[in-house]
Structure 1
Amino acid sequence: MLPPLPINRFLPDRVLRHTVPLLLGLLLSGCASLEYYAQLGQGQLALLRARQPVEQLLADPAQDTTLRQRLQLAQQARDFASQHLALPDNRSYRLYADLQRPYVVWNVFATAELSLQPLTHCFPIAGCVAYRGYYQQGRARGAAALLQADGLDTYVAGIEAYSTLGWFEDPILNTMLRWNDDRLAATLFHELAHQQLYVPDDTAFNESFASFVEHEGLRQWRLSRGLPTQDDADERQRTQFVELILASRERLQQLYDSPLDDNHKRAGKAAEFERLRHDYREARDRDWYGDGRYDAWMAAPLNNARLLPFGLYDHWVPAFANLFRQAHGDWPTFYARAKAIGEQPATQRQATLQALQNTN
């Protein structure tokens, strides 16, 4: 069984994604409770039972017009993914499931009070990940409460989509259809990229690879449809926001690594989060003309666990962009070279990516 894996890039409006199978449960060790794996299996099974072939929904004139339009767009993007991006051609995202809820799973992140190291959970196939996924919000909150009682910082994040890495025929979900056209198409490219290549125990590699495929795939998708170049303003704002979070995380790491006693570290932690809020307000009012799209995220209680997802989705994107250029824009060649890097030992893989990152 795979754990619920996050799928979207983070950020209040676009970050986490991914998740879970169930028949692999027989392979699991006894390191986690049977109750936890039971809810994973039950949730995945309910999702599988909710699937319907998209082609049948599109052929049914009684179906809601908006639903049919969104599913039609998704199928066009799905065709493009296999025909032009050389991504897997299978039944994933040829099915639809309405789960009657806003999120498919809720992921629980946790850290120690004075640490940025995540509490990790290890699974066959997926490897070790920095969260646990739950199909019911109440279970996720309950798990978070137990961790808080042990003195840990926690964060519960609703996830709108996920991938089983090709173990099941993943459906388009009702939670995905509220996105705009670009994000819907980009998510399909991102998730199919995970089916193309996935390296256990290396989240930064996996998410950066899929994010590059997503970004380049979306660029080519828009070009094929005669659409203008994307407005980079939103991406620049998102990048600035992530940079604020990463800078704060770096200062916190220095604080936690310092010889100060725990009481001084706690005071420094509180001060750092106040600084982050101040820096955010300044950037919002100075550079974003008061655009408060991240206000709600920033207004919520801040802790170490809330910072964990940032940076994972973009870290090696420039390296994969350079690899794609070296492959002369040929997708099969690019995938083959990325796979070869993924098969390297972890230390060598990091060095190879760093060298690619530094390529002009």
Structure 2
Amino acid sequence: MGKKWRIGMAFGAAVLMGGCAQLGYYVQAAQGQFSLMAQARAIDDWLADPAVAGKLKGQLAKVKEIRRFASKELHLPDNGTFTSYADLQRPYVLWNVVATPALSLQASQWCFPIAGCVNYRGYYSQEEAQAYAAELRSQNYDVHVSGVPAYSTLGWFDDPVLSTFVQYPEAELARLMFHELAHQVAYAPGDSRFNESFAVAVEELGVERWIKAHGDEKMRAAYRLHAARKQDFLALLLTTREALESNYASRASDARKIARKAEIFQSMQVAYGELKQRWGGYAGYDRWFAEPLNNAHLALVATYHDLVPGFRTLLQQESDLGNFYAAVRSISALEPQQRHQRLAALGVAPVQAALTDDAENQVHN
């Protein structure tokens, strides 16, 4: 009851601060969260149920192994998160709406109690997400709507394992769980770059250790192939982003910038087709291209990788994970500009960038 009481108080504060214009949004958010929790049952109950399919039982048993590993080997929170399971009967738990101006890659922000300001707005209903996206498009924003398989409530609720990701391959399942648990270790309200880059650094370390402890050569080969494709795709995103930034910063007329923008996205489509051929026809990222390409597709690329090099260096400097987490929490207490400068200074070596979850999610659905 304690967590529900705190969430109820937070919801009441949100309504008071947001006013009537936000009331509908906060109501759907609260209803969606409580509905999700109502559907969750303890994993042990699912495993004991003779009506549950063997494949799902196998995945849930694997979840329990990964959860124990997360607490014991990665010192991630040992609590009720990922100890229950909910079958949502839909492909995603949320749909995020991202918006940018027509000639900018700067994402719009929405601010909320607890989470602070973020560069997306989440809906439990795809129809409501698309309706809001249409409203933004009518205001001449570039908009992208993407499905989200999982999210963290930062420990306010015991987040369940969801049908939206439970069938992921083992290493990817571990990656996602480590990432979401990391958000409970350190979180800076309103600083998505810091929060997501930290979670990516933790997931990378976690998957590396998981595969070393539990993987076989088949798993290692599959993950190497997956990582190589992911890096190819990220390189395409970053190249396109750089071309767009150069275009928008130029002295050309707005009409010429719009025309050049279309050319850049067309080149991206062609380059992706070439990547697929090189991958032997692998189409795992096709869903990312399901909507017409625009700035909003690329707005959050930097969010998930810009500060990862700094976190990797900090991890190497600290003697153990406990010290690393303490150092991260200390940095999280700094002002945003200070924490970014500190991590940027640490991340001086060239490193492998991480793909945004937004694009990453498309591989599995």
Q: Normalised by the size of structure 2, how large is the TM-score?
A: 0.87
Cα deviation 1:184-219 (Å, max 9, x = unaligned): 111111111001111112212111111111111111
Q: 2:337 aligned to 338, 344, 347, which one?
A: 347
Distance across 2 between alignment mates of 1:47 and 1:171:
8
Structure 1 175/218 Cα, relative in aligned 2: closer, same or farther at 3 Å?
A: same
Question: In structure 2, what is the equivalent of residue 76 of structure 1?
Answer: 65
Question: In structure 2, what is the equivalent of residue 24 of structure 1?
Answer: 10
SS of 1:196's equivalent in the other structure is coil
Distance across 1 between alignment mates of 2:114 and 2:95:
21
1:42 aligned to 2:42?
A: no
Question: In structure 2, what is the equivalent of residue 166 of structure 1?
Answer: 155
Cα deviation 1:134-187 (Å, max 9, x = unaligned): 111110111111111111111111111111011111000111112111111111
Question: In structure 1, what is the equivalent of residue 122 of structure 2?
Answer: 133
Question: In structure 1, what is the equivalent of residue 226 of structure 2?
Answer: 234
Distance across 1 between alignment mates of 2:291 and 2:32:
28
Cα deviation 1:93-149 (Å, max 9, x = unaligned): 101111111111111111111111111101122111111111111101111111111
Question: In structure 2, what is the equivalent of residue 115 of structure 1?
Answer: 104
Structure 1 270/226 Cα, relative in aligned 2: closer, same or farther at 3 Å?
A: closer
Greater helix share, structure number = 2
Task: Return 5+ residue gaps in structure 1 as ranges.
Answer: 1-20
SS of 2:79's equivalent in the other structure is coil
Distance across 1 between alignment mates of 2:295 and 2:67:
37
SS of 1:195's equivalent in the other structure is coil
Does the 8 Å contact 1:22/1:44 carry over to 2? no
Q: 2:82 aligned to 93, 100, 122, which one?
A: 93
Question: In structure 2, what is the equivalent of residue 263 of structure 1?
Answer: 255
How many residue pairs align between the two structures?
A: 338
Distance across 2 between alignment mates of 1:69 and 1:290:
30
1:357 aligned to 2:347?
A: yes
Identical-residue share of aligned pairs (%): 43
Question: In structure 2, what is the equivalent of residue 55 of structure 1?
Answer: 44
Shift of 1:226: 5.1
Structure 1 225/282 Cα, relative in aligned 2: closer, same or farther at 3 Å?
A: closer
Question: In structure 1, what is the equivalent of residue 313 of structure 2?
Answer: 322
- Please list, as runs of the form range in 1=range in 2, the aligned pairs for 1:213-232 lying within 5 A after superposition: 213-225=202-214, 227-228=216-217, 230-231=220-221, 232=224
Shift of 1:54: 1.1
Question: In structure 2, what is the equivalent of residue 11 of structure 1?
Answer: none
SS of 2:184's equivalent in the other structure is helix
Distance across 1 between alignment mates of 2:257 and 2:243:
12
1:191 aligned to 2:184?
A: no
Shift of 1:282: 3.5
1:106 aligned to 2:98?
A: no
Cα deviation 1:276-310 (Å, max 9, x = unaligned): 2233333443x534444334534641111111232
Question: In structure 2, what is the equivalent of residue 335 of structure 1?
Answer: 325
Q: 2:265 aligned to 267, 273, 284, which one?
A: 273
